[in-house]
Structure 1
């Protein structure tokens, strides 16, 4: 009889537990309310690769403030690969003691004291791309460690991930971050292999759509077992993805190469197009020692405002004529951004009749109707007013450059 009662008690407990839900079920979703506009900041990789240490990062944080980058909207100071030391006997990761002798908590405190936020890097595999300890099997420990350091942003790479699938691996780190209890932006750096745009919006705030960028306008850099792509090659790879982007979830065509060796006009075109497609603006140059031309590009608040528009609509290619592409981006309040991109090696004339047709964005349903509404024009690079849509636009776009305008909806 006692055995029967015990059996019923066990069954009753099991039924109760089942009805209440499994307490060990993970929450594989991201924190809500982060990155409602594309993240802006700086990352160490494009310029410094593995040559990172705490003095460099402090100097960059100082320069972020003194250069006016912070005032322009740049928030995150992100340390990429190679900061890692070893794991201790319990499996917890520690920074390289020679490169970061003060520890990451002290460095995060320093960055926070500047009114900035700190990002860090790890990898879903056993090792990072630079051969440091990856997070595979240590996801929850690493998330707890990052939270204790005061980290605000995690770039999570995809090297050495044999046997893993992207969606599952990134859900695991998302659950770990949630359990750690500190809101962090999760940058899914999976290179577009597992189509992260189809699942990433519930897991992270941004996802890489391609492999690595390279600091040339339109080329492919062959690295043997893999290749990197120039700016225009990366831009072409964004086709068909705009419907997946929006507040809190962004397509990421990789970090900026502005100031890393291209001509000023090419940097300007690069920056303009990243803003037109609502890309994260993560600078990758040495902001401690940048030219006036580079600073003027990165800090152009009127162009940045196109990227940071609260509506969060990714722009699109509207038409192509010869070497000139016309791109459009609907903005909040009925405004529009238009960018004429000249991919050719010779200057091209632009002749655009605003009244020739009504333009409707099929995604946002925004309408540009210059037949019924007069828009004022603002040249975003000269920062000068440029007439209205009452008259056709006639201008010229230099080679590998842009003509970028904002159309203001007059009430």
Structure 2
């Protein structure tokens, strides 16, 4: 039998693969970069609104919009390019940007974004191909990580399509180690849709992990696509509620990008944003920032609600009470106060009088509690601006699919 002859184009790839194995052994005990997500990351992502219809001009325009409309100053730091930015790999296996969509290249785009006080995120996949059919990072993890570092990338969303035969913990750990070896602090966002329970293994691997399949712009629905489903706001909230003990500074339950500005009603948008804030999920907007309504912008830049999400204690909210379509969620805060959310899941207006003393504020996971029989807290309502204290019952009127969000301050 004659010896198989390797094609010359494969030699560099083979050498790089061998080098990657050596680097992998050397970094077997590598750790993710700390300090990049002490509070849930905030930013924008292209997928929800634009899917594969992206370009460098869109990213530049979005960066300019984030500065002009105040989103950057409200805390939105990352500008993330999702799937379909890829061109082909060159003869040495280096990934290239699509020359028609991104003619200036990713490095020039990163420089543009950085000059505006923002950070650039990019997307890849643990499989051979991305969900959009572009080249994935399987077998090229260390090479791609070095490329991203050289380009000045600050964030990597890493997907899970075309991964037959791969172990998720192993695949994501390989990319974590590759990012560490590349030497540039890059926030690592794990996106395997909760299929292999990443909350059990990903705390030391990534900075956040998706808890469900993709979000879609509806209140309480599930849309089947055959082998997978996308979910509305309440479905994702309910699926993530039981995972609260896994969330905390540097390791967050990611409930997917926001659909604020993509077709929900204003009441639904406020409730959606409030839920993500209370649940300590990353706040990654997914709408067109260049043309959103003043109402949508006001929701996304509500600094009081954002402050609940960015609280340094980092506790995911607890569903304290549920009575039919009415729910009460509570979240202890670093200053001794509490975030409180009243939510109407249903189709009818709810009129409710809340007796603060009937529902003590207590969380057995974080070990925070407040006895409202002994202490009176001042409260401020974060959407309408009302105020009061817990010595008196609270009158709650909730339209369908709406929420009331309060911040309680300790005496």
Q: Distance in 2 between matches of 1:34 and 1:256?
A: 20
RMSD across aligned C-alpha pairs, in angstroms? 1.1
Q: Distance in 2 between matches of 1:42 and 1:357?
A: 37
Q: Distance in 1 between matches of 2:398 and 2:370?
A: 23
Q: Distance in 1 between matches of 2:25 and 2:254?
A: 35
Partner of 1:118: 120
Q: Distance in 2 between matches of 1:347 and 1:26?
A: 56
How many Å apart are 1:372 and its aligned residue? Answer: 1.4
With structure 1 as the length reference, what TM-score do the two structures score? 0.93
- Does 231-240 or 184-193 show the bigger shift? 231-240
Partner of 2:322: 320
Give the unaligned 5+ runs of structure 1.
1-21
How many Å apart are 1:394 and its aligned residue? Answer: 1.3
Partner of 1:176: 178
**Alignment pair present for 1:407 and 2:394:** no
| Aligned 8 A contact 2:217 2:259 in 1 | yes
- Does 128-137 or 321-330 show the bigger shift? 321-330
Partner of 2:165: 163
Q: Distance in 2 between matches of 1:380 and 1:285?
A: 23
Partner of 1:305: 307
Q: Distance in 2 between matches of 1:199 and 1:292?
A: 41
**Alignment pair present for 1:256 and 2:226:** no
Secondary structure class of the residue paired with 2:365: coil
Larger Rg: 1
Q: Distance in 2 between matches of 1:305 and 1:91?
A: 44
Partner of 2:393: 392
Secondary structure class of the residue paired with 1:80: coil
How many Å apart are 1:199 and its aligned residue? Answer: 1.1
How many Å apart are 1:233 and its aligned residue? Answer: 0.7
| Aligned 8 A contact 1:342 1:402 in 2 | yes
How many Å apart are 1:223 and its aligned residue? Answer: 2.0
Decide whether aligned partners of structure 1 residues 262 and 391 sit closer, same or farther in structure 2, where only a CA change above 3 A counts.
same
From 60, 71, 75, the equivalent of 1:58 is 60
Secondary structure class of the residue paired with 2:26: coil
Partner of 1:213: 215
Q: Distance in 2 between matches of 1:165 and 1:278?
A: 28
From 67, 80, 90, the equivalent of 1:78 is 80
Partner of 1:127: 129
Partner of 2:197: 195
Q: Distance in 1 between matches of 2:173 and 2:276?
A: 27
Q: Which stretches of structure 1, 4 residues or more, deviate above 6 A after TM superposition? A: none
| Aligned 8 A contact 2:330 2:361 in 1 | no
Q: Distance in 1 between matches of 2:162 and 2:218?
A: 27
Secondary structure class of the residue paired with 1:202: coil
Partner of 2:371: 369
Decide whether aligned partners of structure 1 residues 389 and 112 sit closer, same or farther in structure 2, where only a CA change above 3 A counts.
same
Give the unaligned 5+ runs of structure 2.
1-23
Q: Distance in 2 between matches of 1:23 and 1:388?
A: 59
Secondary structure class of the residue paired with 1:407: strand
- Does 323-332 or 22-31 show the bigger shift? 22-31
From 382, 385, 405, the equivalent of 2:384 is 382
Partner of 1:354: 356
Secondary structure class of the residue paired with 2:407: strand
| Aligned 8 A contact 2:27 2:177 in 1 | no
| Aligned 8 A contact 2:88 2:95 in 1 | yes
How many aligned residue pairs are there? 388
How many Å apart are 1:355 and its aligned residue? Answer: 2.0
